[in-house]
Structures are given as structure tokens and as C-alpha cells.
Structure 1
Amino acid sequence: MSFSTQDNDEVLSEMNVTPLVDVMLVLLVVFIVTTPMLTNAIPINLPKTDAVAPAPQKDPVVVSINGAGQLFINKDPVEPARLAFNLQGAKARDPDIRVQLQADEGVNYGEVARAMASIERAGITKVSVITAR
């Protein structure tokens, strides 16, 4: 019996891809078997309905600020100090009120922020800020 006494300290730099190929083949078989099962649909007869019109929505209250800084509610001028009071009255008439805020491009942002604060003080939570494209 002969034994080899060579000291072979070389590192094997090749990666063994056989386990990787085995795993990939198993996954491929699993996908091939399960895919036809996923495409089967159960035939059912659903009831037919007529088209229904959407529920009517009330027009929102429009708060506008022009280039001179004047406030308007639905094209009616209003003093900045009275904005929250007028909106509270509108909210009392319609608890589900929606407000759209429009401001001229040249308006100072501070005035827009004050108008938004007044809308918030009135207890209105549905606010849209309208911009031009």
C-alpha cells in the first residue's frame, strides 16, 4: 500500500455549481407542476345589474384670494377676520362641507396660510388647494 506524501496546499478556486443546478431544477419542476393548478377558474354565474349613476354631490365652497389679497367666498367679498365665522355658519348648515382654496400666483404665502388656518378653525377637514397647470 502506498500513500502519497505530497503537501498540496493549493486552494481550489473553482466554484462547485452542481448543488446550485440541482436546486434550480427542483424549483423548475415545482413551478411546472403548480402553474396549471393556478389557472383553473371556478365557473359561477354572477347576477346582472344595470348601470347606476353616481350619487349627486353638492358644489364645494370656493375660497379665493386675488392678487390684491382680497378674500372671496363663492365670489362674494369677505373680510379676513370674518372668514372663519362665515365658514362656521356654512358648516352648521352642511356638516359634510367641502372647501376649495384658490389663490392668485402673486399672493404672499402668509395670506394663503392665514386662510388655511381660518378654514381649520371653522372645523372643516375636507380642503382642496386648486392650482393652474
Structure 2
Amino acid sequence: MGMHVGNTSSSGEPEVMMEINTTPLIDVMLVLLVMLIITIPIQLHSVNLEMPVGAPPTTLIKPEKIQIDIDEQSVVYWQGLPVSAQELDEKMKAVAPQQPQPEVHIRPNKASQYAVFANVLSSSKRLGLNKIAVIGAEQFVQ
């Protein structure tokens, strides 16, 4: 282990320091950082939206409501009149292209066969009726 005792040069002049003093640089950088933090505005965590003003336009044309009932003997009724499966398909084909499309309300009885209900539901989807509601589903809750 060695120790630097003094000047090794014979001329008596001090050696040139080859390292830079970084302390003033660090001080200047810290002052700049503090100034930057102070001058940056506080960021808000909200999004400004421009929402439309006024009431939305109301549609004057209300869709027709078609009531399909299934009774306890699994007979299908179209607007209160009994129909066969073929007549049901024909009536659905006739109302499917209407604009606005009619709302189909299916009201099955708890004692009716599920196959009849499933057939009515699949026929309505197959023929292009998209607005379908099952009415009276609370009777199936135990």
C-alpha cells in the first residue's frame, strides 16, 4: 500500500489536476430542477367534453307491438288469434321488413311445452325479427 506524500516532480510546481469539480454543476442542476417543478402547471385529472345542448330528437313513429301468446295446451296465438306454425312463419315474414321493425312480445304460459316456445323464438330470429321480449318471465322463478 502506498501513500502520496508530496510532489514527485523535481521542478517544485504543483501537478495539474485532471479531475473536474462536479459540485457546482450538481448545484446548478438542482436549482434548474426546482424551477422546472415550480413552473409546471398542476395537471388536472379530468377530460373536458363538449356535450350537445338541448333535448335529443324524439321519434314520432312508434314501433308496432305484436303479441304472441302460448297457452297451457301449447297453442300459439298471434294478436289473440290461434295460428299454426306455418301461419306464424308467414305472419313473421310479412312483418319483418317493416320499418321501424315491430316489437315482438312473447308471453308463454308456465304449463306450456318449452319446445313450442323455443320454436317461436328461433323462427322469429331466423326470419329477421330482432326486437324480441319475453313477457311474464317472473312466473318461472321458484
Coarse TM-score class (shorter-chain normalised) = 0.5 to 0.7
Deviations 1:13-67 (A, max 9, x none): xxxxxxxxxxxxxxxxxxxx9xx6427898xxx8853x45732422321211111
Give identity over the alignment, percent.
Answer: 19
Structure 1 partner of 2:135: 130
Of 34, 38, 41, the residue aligned with 2:44 is: 38
Give 1 or 2 for the bigger CA radius of gyration.
2
* TM-score, normalised with respect to structure 1: 0.56
Q: For residues 74 and 88 of structure 2, what CA distance do their matches in structure 1 show?
A: 13
Q: Is the 8 A contact 2:103 2:132 kept in 1?
A: yes
Q: Per the alignment, do residues 37 and 100 of structure 1 end up closer, same or farther by CA in structure 2, a change over 3 Å counting?
A: same
Structure 1 partner of 2:102: 97
Q: Structure 1 residue 111 and structure 2 residue 132: aligned?
A: no
Q: Is the 8 A contact 1:101 1:129 kept in 2?
A: yes
What pairs with 1:19-30 in structure 2 (closer than 5 Å)? none
Structure 1 unmatched ranges of 5 or more: 1-32
* TM-score, normalised with respect to structure 2: 0.53
1:129 alignment partner AA: V
Of 55, 60, 70, the residue aligned with 2:59 is: 55
Structure 2 unmatched ranges of 5 or more: 1-37
Pairwise CA distance, 1:113: 0.7
Larger helix proportion of the pair:
1
Q: Is the 8 A contact 2:63 2:101 kept in 1?
A: no
Q: Is the 8 A contact 1:66 1:107 kept in 2?
A: yes
